[in-house]
C-alpha cells in the first residue's frame, strides 16, 4: 500500500468550453531552454490516455503528441531561453514561457488552469492546480506537448554539442552529465546561473 497521500479530484470552477491547460518542462536541467505548452481540448474529440507526461513511455507520449495536435481546439508551445533563465532565474523564466504559450494560442481561452502553485502575472481568469498534470486532462496534454518538444530538442543539441549525453539525460544533473561537464567544461547551452555550471565557469577564469 502506497504511503503517498493522493490528492482529491480537482473540481474546476469554470464549466465553459474554452478552458486552457498550461504546463512547463525543464526547470531542473543544467542545460537547454525551459519549454511550456498550452492546450484547449475539444470536448467533441476526446483523447484517451492523457496523463502526467513523466508517467508515460516515450512511445505513448509521441502517440498522444500527434493526437493532441490533431484533435485540440488550439495548442501552442513556447519557451524561455537559456539566456533568459540566467537573467531572470528559472522560476520567472518558467512563468514567462507559460505566459507566452497561452498568448500564442490562436483561440484565446476564457479560463486557464496552471500546473503547480504559482501563476504568471497576467489578466486571464485562472486557477493553479498542484500536480495538475495528473488531475486535469488539459494540463496533462500541455505537459505531453512540452516534454516531447523539449526531448526532441535535446536530441538535436546532443548532435551539436556531443560528449555531454544530452539526448539521454535531457540536461539533468546525472552522474554522467556532471563528469562530462568536468571533462569538457560547460557548453553554450548550459545554464551559467545554475550552481554546478557557475562553479565550473568560475574555476575556468
Whether 93 is in a domain gets the answer yes
Mean pLDDT for the chain?
A: 94
Whether 176 is in a domain gets the answer yes
User: Which CATH number do you get for residue 45?
Assistant: 3.30.420.10
Query: Tens digit of pLDDT for each residue in 91-109?
Result: 999 999 999 999 999 999 9
Whether 10 is in a domain gets the answer no
- Evaluate if residue 60 carries a pLDDT over 70: yes
- Evaluate if residue 71 carries a pLDDT over 50: yes
What pLDDT score does 1 carry? 43
- Evaluate if residue 17 carries a pLDDT over 90: no
What pLDDT score does 95 carry? 98
Whether 75 is in a domain gets the answer yes
Which residues, listed in sequence order, are joined to residue 78 by a DSSP beta bridge? 36
What pLDDT score does 110 carry? 96
Known binding-site residues for a divalent metal cation equal 23-24, 115
What pLDDT score does 4 carry? 60
Whether 49 is in a domain gets the answer yes
What pLDDT score does 100 carry? 98
User: CA torsion sign, 196 to 200 to 203 to 205?
Assistant: negative
**Section 106-122 average pLDDT:** 96
Query: Tens digit of pLDDT for each residue in 128-180?
Result: 999 999 999 999 999 999 999 999 999 999 999 999 999 999 999 999 999 99
Whether 172 is in a domain gets the answer yes
What pLDDT score does 2 carry? 46
Residue with cell 511550456: 36
For residue 87, give its domain range.
19-204
Whether 3 is in a domain gets the answer no
Q: Which phi and psi angles does 35 have, rounded to 5°? A: -115, 135
What pLDDT score does 205 carry? 65
Known binding-site residues equal 23-24, 115
Radius of gyration of the chain (CA): 18
What pLDDT score does 50 carry? 95
Domain count, the chain: 1
DSSP characters over 60-119: HHHHHHHHHHHH-SEEEEEEE-HHHHHHH-HHHHHHHHHHHHHHT-SS--SEEEEESS--
CB 79 within 8 A of CB 73: no
Nearest one of 156, 154, 149 to 168, comparing CA atoms: 154
Residue with cell 483561440: 107
**Section 106-121 average pLDDT:** 96
Whether 119 is in a domain gets the answer yes
**Section 170-198 average pLDDT:** 96
Amino acid at each position: 500500500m502506497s504511503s503517498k497521500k493522493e490528492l482529491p479530484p480537482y473540481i474546476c470552477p469554470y464549466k465553459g468550453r474554452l478552458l486552457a491547460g498550461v504546463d512547463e518542462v525543464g526547470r531542473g536541467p543544467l542545460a537547454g531552454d525551459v519549454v511550456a505548452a498550452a492546450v484547449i481540448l475539444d470536448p467533441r474529440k476526446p483523447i484517451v490516455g492523457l496523463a502526467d507526461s513523466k508517467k508515460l513511455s516515450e512511445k505513448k507520449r509521441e502517440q498522444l503528441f500527434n493526437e493532441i495536435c490533431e484533435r485540440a481546439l488550439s495548442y501552442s508551445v513556447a519557451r524561455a531561453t537559456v539566456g533568459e533563465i540566467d537573467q531572470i532565474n528559472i522560476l520567472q523564466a518558467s512563468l514567462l514561457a507559460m505566459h507566452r504559450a497561452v498568448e500564442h494560442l490562436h483561440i484565446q481561452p476564457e479560463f486557464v488552469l496552471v500546473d503547480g502553485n504559482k501563476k504568471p502575472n497576467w489578466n486571464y481568469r485562472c486557477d493553479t492546480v498542484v500536480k495538475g498534470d495528473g488531475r486535469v486532462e488539459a494540463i496533462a496534454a500541455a505537459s505531453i506537448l512540452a516534454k516531447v518538444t523539449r526531448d526532441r530538442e535535446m536530441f538535436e543539441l546532443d548532435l551539436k554539442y556531443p560528449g555531454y549525453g544530452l539526448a539521454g539525460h535531457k540536461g539533468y544533473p546525472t552522474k554522467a552529465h556532471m563528469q562530462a561537464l568536468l571533462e569538457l567544461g560547460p557548453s553554450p547551452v548550459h545554464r551559467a546561473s545554475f550552481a554546478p555550471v557557475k562553479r565550473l565557469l568560475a574555476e575556468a577564469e
